Structure 1
Amino acid sequence: MDPNTGMLIIDKPQGITSHGVVSRVRKWFGTRKVGHAGTLDPMATGVLVLGLGRGTKLLTYLVGAHKTYTATIRLGSSTPTDDADSAPDAFAAPAALAALTAERIGAGAAELTGDIEQVPSEVSAIKVDGRRSYARVRAGEDVELRARPVTVSAFDVHAVRPGEEHWDVDVEVTCSSGTYIRALARDLGRALDVHGHLTALRRTRVGAFGLADAIALPEDPATASAPELLPLAAVAARVLPVAALTPNEATALMQGKFVDLPEAPPAPGGRWAGIADGELIAILERRGGRYKSATGIAIPGPGAR
């Protein structure tokens, strides 16, 4: 197997884009085939899941995973980007700030929990008529994004630090893919009539992978030894139910054939990790009671089509 095939969990440092992390990892491992499962803003730190080589095929099954973040929300002002990457441009009235309480903040967070409709931040990568929203905003255009359904499973307030000009609120959020924590900060501030923006953000978990799985990104990949990658079979087994394959079944799947797998466990998502002899062969789906490769991972042998 290609030594540059596998998964890598990076603890992204502040001040670098997710694309910048990919670029650095390409140099680190000497390969072009690197992708990531879910962008982090330059201001944010934490878990960034990357696939290398054939591992990029597995990213599709990680992008939609629920994510957990710790964050600090500043109540009392808002910014054009809804975070600390731009200067505050609107401020709370002193009376409104004086009326804040920890109980009101907690109630406001509770109102933003569950299945909600969220308008993403205008300075985001969402495309509007073929162009990124942030590019339109920076060009001086007015952008109006539509609300999208997202799920905020938890929006827990851990600490509240009152001040004369602002209140800082430490929170932990678990949410569906596509949720903007910046937008939660903005919307909490609006609901409390004091404005709000994000001053710190750290992603602590992507699906089955947390900070304990993450490694640091070297400043200079040319001088750092590349670590061992996580094997695809091990990663897939943490994400999907495993269908154990015999060598003959593995060969048949790699040749595009259907197989019978009576011992396959239940799969609520309709996908299985097909593994034979410790190698991830394919992501499987069921069709008409039989199983077929939905995404081939292993390299097909002779006779494949």
Structure 2
Amino acid sequence: MSETMRAVVVNEFGGPEVLRLGEVPMPKVVNSDTLVRVHAAGLNPIDVKTRAGKGASGAIERMPWVPGGEFAGVVEKASYELAPFQPGDEVYGMLLTPRYQGAHGDYVSVPFMSLAHKPKSLTMLEAGGVPLAALTAWAAVVEAARVHSGQRMLVHAGAGGVGHFAVQLAAFYGADVVTTASGRNHDWLTDLGASQVIDYTSERFEEAIDEPVDVVIDLIGNVQDNTGSRSLEVLRDGGLVVNVPTGSWPTMHEETEAAGRELRASTLKLSPEGRILTTIAQLFDQGDLQTHLDASFPLSQARAAHEQLEQGHTRGKIVFDLTAE
């Protein structure tokens, strides 16, 4: 096996123009790591933020940095003879970048506890855009919000990568789901389980919601039209707001406390757990969860992929196809 591989590399922080397709050392396989040949890898907002010098950039100890926190592919080398995932197995998983070299390259080395068998009902391209986004939605909806039947939940940015999974998971577990999105996504999100879709381009969600919600899954924060702060207006007394994008609402705790209604607030940090990905795969294969692939790019078009995601109108996921070249 070659000592190097293709990868999207970042040598300095900045705009999409800093992205390069280059050669980097093959990832090392140690301890419980499994070597996976990547067929597809999702692009997420955290990749864009970190490339720009925000996000997880403070944890990058050396350049070049390879982005990419989710992938689907085929096991090349198992960590030991009786390891759960063996050569030839189709898997999908999540990487803790930048502690691990990212997935926007030909191979990844990842602990087998962060892997699961790929959903049989999904193509490699579809599966490559699932793990990080679906695990984020699961952490927010199932673990933080403790979703249950009869709960009323507002999901901001319901048409995005995390949002469209959050809407489906909340509806699957019995919640009454309200979501915000542009008008073109109204019918699609209704089909995914939302009972009310509010067009943020023409309506103020705090005016359109006529009954308080128990939980707000905030996938925007205050970086756009003070969405986070305005969300407190629709929360019932004692309700919960979960703010997901890192650094998007720095004053959240002060504002919820100042509201004086015993409101609860939490940020979110993600753990790449393969056992949850196994459950998510089952939901896909039994028809209770679906994903939407908005666009796919070869690695050589990383700049175009980042530019498209930064426009903010993606429905579902953008994915790199590593078999395209």
Do they fold alike, i.e. is TM over 0.5?
A: no
Q: Which has the higher strand share?
A: 1
What is the TM-score when the length of structure 2 is the normalising length? 0.24
State the structure with more CA Rg.
Answer: 1
How does the TM-score come out when normalised to structure 1?
Answer: 0.25
Identify, as 1 or 2, the structure richer in helix: 2
